[in-house]
């Protein structure tokens, strides 16, 4: 069995092909988190001050409107806790959920309980299943690591298109550094890259994407942030966000029921992260997740290693989930096994918008030097 070098501070190891270690054995992810968090993570009084200003701004801009922001709700702990806090802050979000066809019954129940408790209006965008199925099969045939792109992209695209249509400038996101501060770039590409998505679908898909809405490069980096002045706010970065305590508060307040596994709200993501990735690529997403909790002070390295030692799946549960997966995608078990064995590709084996992004960054940096102001080009 191959041995992997592991970080002496977190638990990331050399299954990330781009990982490096300093003289103390600490990985580049830990050092990057420390550097980035200085200006982007405020689990203190400074965070409370900044968050108060942001909330005041959202309320002021939304005055006279039915909603002052949009809150994307997946049913996971992060977005669910954010929904609870938004009520405490007196915000008036329109809660938006994107149903890509893989919701667990528990996720639906948790979303309903939250919306009912907070007295929110819920808008659910139901994705055209035949198109989603075709796109997900295309990604499986492509043999790339980030199989969550079809779900992730439509989630963000639906929110931004809906926000623009309804003239709402602020989107609240449960994304945060405390639980997601570490993630190896080598394992995935941008879920926002519609050029990459369309290229993969063009080569491996079989149906045209008529209802599946995407976000173009122009929309993501020019139209939304500069023309429409839209902003995605991540309030959890301005508080001491402890995921375990957040879960307990959700359970006590709305009767929230936890999932047995991370991302248990999506049956696709559950199988993808706990079986497909480890089996095909050797990637265990518990590594960055638990490492994020370590560097944000929510878990000790010793406890993380104990969690890592647990099996990703119990055999009976795995068979149930594979059978459901095959039935849902209308493929046989033989076809499923064949998809697991297609040649591995990196997402950059297909066209991306990386070149456009680098050009825009150079233009951004040029204007920043000329004007002395930091220019934000992404909403």
Reported as a single tens digit per residue, the pLDDT across 192-214 is: 999 999 999 999 999 999 999 99
Count of beta carbons in the 10 Å neighbourhood of residue 150: 27
The predicted model scores a pTM of 0.91
Q: What is the number of structural domains in the chain? A: 1
Q: Is 372 exposed, middle or buried (0-12, 13-18, 19+ CB in 10 A)?
A: exposed
Structure tokens at 288: 């960055």
Residue 367 forms part of a structural domain: no
Residue 129 forms part of a structural domain: yes
DSSP H helical segments within the chain, as ranges? 28-40, 45-61, 77-88, 105-118, 129-142, 149-165, 177-180, 194-204, 217-218, 243-254, 267-271, 277-280, 286-295, 301-308, 315-329, 333-340, 354-371
The boundaries of the domain holding residue 261 are 28-344+354-360
Q: Which residues of the chain have pLDDT under 50?
A: none
pLDDT score for 262: 61
- The span from the CA of 75 to the CA of 239, in Å, is 21
Residue 332 forms part of a structural domain: yes
Residue 69 forms part of a structural domain: yes
Reported as a single tens digit per residue, the pLDDT across 212-237 is: 999 999 999 999 988 888 999 999 99
pLDDT score for 371: 79
Strand order in the sheet with 93-99: 121-126, 93-99, 69-72, 170-172, 231-233
Residue 338 forms part of a structural domain: yes
CATH of the domain at 59: 3.40.50.620
Structure tokens at 60: 């002021």
CB 97 within 8 A of CB 125: yes
pLDDT score for 379: 54
What's the angle, vertex CA 304, arms to CA 33 and CA 26, rounded to 5?
40
Instruction: List all residues 6 or more positions away from 365 whose beta carbon is below 8 Å from its beta carbon.
Output: none
pLDDT score for 291: 98
Residue 17 forms part of a structural domain: no
Residue 372 forms part of a structural domain: no
The pairing of strands 93-99 and 121-126 is parallel
Structure tokens at 347: 């997402």
Residue 88 forms part of a structural domain: yes
């Amino acid at each position: 069995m191959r041995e992997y070098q592991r970080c002496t501070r977190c638990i990331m190891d050399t299954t990330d092909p781009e990982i490096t270690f300093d003289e103390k054995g600490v990985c580049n992810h830990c050092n990057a988190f420390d550097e980035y968090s200085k200006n982007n993570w405020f689990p203190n009084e400074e965070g409370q001050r900044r968050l108060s200003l942001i909330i005041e701004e959202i309320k002021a801009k939304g005055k006279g409107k039915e909603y002052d922001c949009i809150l994307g709700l997946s049913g996971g702990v992060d977005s669910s806790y954010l929904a609870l806090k938004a009520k405490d802050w007196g915000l008036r979000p329109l809660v938006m959920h994107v149903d890509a066809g893989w919701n667990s019954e528990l996720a639906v129940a948790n979303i309903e309980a939250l919306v009912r408790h907070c007295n929110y209006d819920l808008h659910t965008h139901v994705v055209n299943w035949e198109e989603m199925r075709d796109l997900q099969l295309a990604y499986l045939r492509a043999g790339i690591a980030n199989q969550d792109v079809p779900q992730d992209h439509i989630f963000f695209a639906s929110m931004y298109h809906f926000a623009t249509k309804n003239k709402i400038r602020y989107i609240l996101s449960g994304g945060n550094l405390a639980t997601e501060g570490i993630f190896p770039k080598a394992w995935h590409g941008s879920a926002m890259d519609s050029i990459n998505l369309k290229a993969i679908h063009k080569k491996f898909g079989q149906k045209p994407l008529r209802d599946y809405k995407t976000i173009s490069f122009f929309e993501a980096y020019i139209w939304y942030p500069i023309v429409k002045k839209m902003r995605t706010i991540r309030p959890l970065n301005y508080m001491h966000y402890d995921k375990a305590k957040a879960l307990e508060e959700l359970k006590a307040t709305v009767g929230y029921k936890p999932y047995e596994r991370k991302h248990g709200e999506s049956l696709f993501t559950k199988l993808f992260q706990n079986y497909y990735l480890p089996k095909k690529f050797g990637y265990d997403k518990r590594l960055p997740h638990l490492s994020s909790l370590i560097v944000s002070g929510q878990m000790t390295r010793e406890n993380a290693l104990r969690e890592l030692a647990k099996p990703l799946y119990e055999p009976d549960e795995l068979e149930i989930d594979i059978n459901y997966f095959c039935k849902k995608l209308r493929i046989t078990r033989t076809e499923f096994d064949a998809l697991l064995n297609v040649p591995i590709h990196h997402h950059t084996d297909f066209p991306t918008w990386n070149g456009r992004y680098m050009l825009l960054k150079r233009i951004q940096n040029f204007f920043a030097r000329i004007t002395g102001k930091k220019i934000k080009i992404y909403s």
